[in-house]
Amino acid sequence: MSIKTYWKKQWGSLLITGIIFASLNGCGNGGDNTPSNGENSSGTSSLLDRIQSRGNLICGVNGQLPGFSFVDENGEYSGMDAEYCRAVASALFDDPAQVEFRDLSAQERFTAVQSGEVDLVSRNTTWTISRDTSVGMEFAPIIFYDGQGIMVRKDSEIQDLEGLADKSICVLSGTTNEQNLADQMRKQGINYQPVVFEDVDAVYAAYEQERCAGVTSDRSQLTVRRAVLANPDEHEVSSVVLSKEPLAPMVANGDANWFDAVKWITFALIQAEELEINSQNISSFENTEDPQIRRFLGQEGNLGEDMGLPNDFAARIVKHVGNYGEIYDRNIGQPFGLDRGLNRLWTDGGLLYSPPFR
């Protein structure tokens, strides 16, 4: 054969070897790069920075619970938990619309945070020690003090847990409700049949069809759900309180910057109400002399910048979403007539208390 074809062949095989090596190299790089990104997340760069450069917040919510987070027919989210996500987005981007909501089931929520699928979960989640430690969560301040209750049919005349002996009780899987019910029943030595569903709509559908004599959940949820049953008057939330259910937003463990930001955004909602700043009157505080308010709204000092947020983050939140009281009234107080109870400010005899913004 001529030298020309020989060279051609040789070049061909060289080319192939080159491609193989290049792709191997690529693989190696890919393998090296991604873990080092992962290391970054634990070391230098915080989720806070990545969210800011991404330009939107990915927020995990319930989506099936009116008053807390509920998707309407236009795909719009309403409710207190959803508004909380908007408050965080307002603080970060000065735009409450920069939120991407993800519906999560009770089962999915922890894995979604662990895996980084969502930045933040605001999904009526009870703060417990095991979730905080062994599950690897980090809880922001409590935004709703609740307790577990039981809803039964009025005509069943069940008053307490003993009335539910040997009966079926519908409950959502993966909740503290499931465990509290078991604890209380064990304490009182009552035999019962838990009927456990993964989907919250299925729980109430089964209860409505009389599969269960009662349904147990947080009292706020029962009240809200009762309102959307076919005949709300036939049901009542009994006065029994089985547990305390402090509901709080949560983020993943091990990212102090992001956790601090979420924590103080939550406190800002409470502090704003305490300072009597709301979305209507915020403009009147522009030239205030009160140093406490000036610091809070970022007119002096740099409380925000010290943790990687803009200085006026609290002002942005109040401007776009309002203070805690406004959010509560808009989503839970007015639509469902639920008394604020423990969810009042400490100055009014409630439990909401923000550390000083100083």
Partner 1 sequence: MEDEKIPFWRDSRVLRIVGQVVALLIVFTIIFFLGNNLVNNFQRLGLTFGFNFLDRSASFGIANPPIAYSSNDPYTKAILVGLINSLRVMFFGIIIALFLGIIVGISRLSDNWLLRQLATIYVETLRNTPLLLQLFFWYFAVFLKLPRIDNPLTFGRWVFLTNRGLDIPWFGDAQQTWLGLSVIILSIILLVVLWRRRIYAVEEQGESGQIWSWLSIAVAIAAMIIFCFGLDWDIPELNNNNIAGGLNLSPEFATLLIGLSVYTAAFIAEVVRAGIQSVSQGQWEAARALGLQPGLVMQLIIFPQALRVMIPPLTSEFLNLAKNSSLAIAIGYNDIYSISNTVANQTGRSLEMLLIVITTYLTINLIISLGMNWFNRAVQIKER
Which residues contact partner 1 (rule: CB under 8 A)? Answer: 9-10, 13-14, 17, 20, 24, 27-28, 30-31, 34-35, 38-39, 41-42, 106-107, 110-111, 114-115, 130-131, 134-136, 166-168, 173-174, 178-179, 181-183, 185-186, 192-199, 202, 205-206, 209-211, 252-254
Provide, rounded to whole angstroms, the least separation between the CB of residue 197 and partner 1. 4
At 34, list the tokens. Answer: 């991604």
The residue among 107 and 311 lying less far from partner 1, judged by its C-beta, is 107
Nearer to partner 1, 33 or 239 (CB): 33
In what order do the strands lie in the sheet containing 57-61?
99-103, 57-61, 120-121, 250-252, 137-139
Q: Which of 83, 48, 78, 51 is nearest to 66 (CA)?
A: 78
Task: Spell out the long-range contacts of 129-135 with Cβ–Cβ below 8 A and sequence spacing 24 or more.
Answer: 131/250, 135/110
Residue placing its CB nearer to partner 1 in the complex, 38 or 55 = 38
Query: For tokens 């060279």, what's the residue?
Result: 7
- We find the least distance from the C-beta atom of residue 195 to partner 1, in angstroms, to be 5
- CB of 14 vs partner 1, minimal distance in Å: 8
Greatest pairwise CA separation for the chain in angstroms: 102
Q: How far is the CB of 163 from partner 1 (least distance, A)?
A: 11
Residue 116 amino acid letter: G
**Which residue number, 47 or 314, has a Cβ lying nearer to partner 1?**
47
From the CB of 142, what's the least distance to partner 1, in Å?
Answer: 20
Residue position matching structure tokens 């319930």 = 62
User: How far apart, in whole angstroms, are the C-alpha atoms of residue 280 and residue 152?
Assistant: 41
157: number of Cβ within 10 Å: 8
Name which of 76 and 198 has its Cβ closer to partner 1: 198
SS3 63: coil
Question: Please, what is the minimum distance in Å from the beta carbon of residue 246 to partner 1?
Answer: 18
> Cβ of residue 30: shortest distance to partner 1, in angstroms?
7
- Give 198 or 305: the residue with its C-beta nearer to partner 1: 198
Contacts of 136 (CB under 8 A, 6+ apart): 110, 113, 114, 252, 253, 254
Give 145 or 197: the residue with its C-beta nearer to partner 1: 197
Sequence-separated (6 or more) residues with CB below 8 Å from residue 181: 148, 169, 171, 192, 194, 216, 242
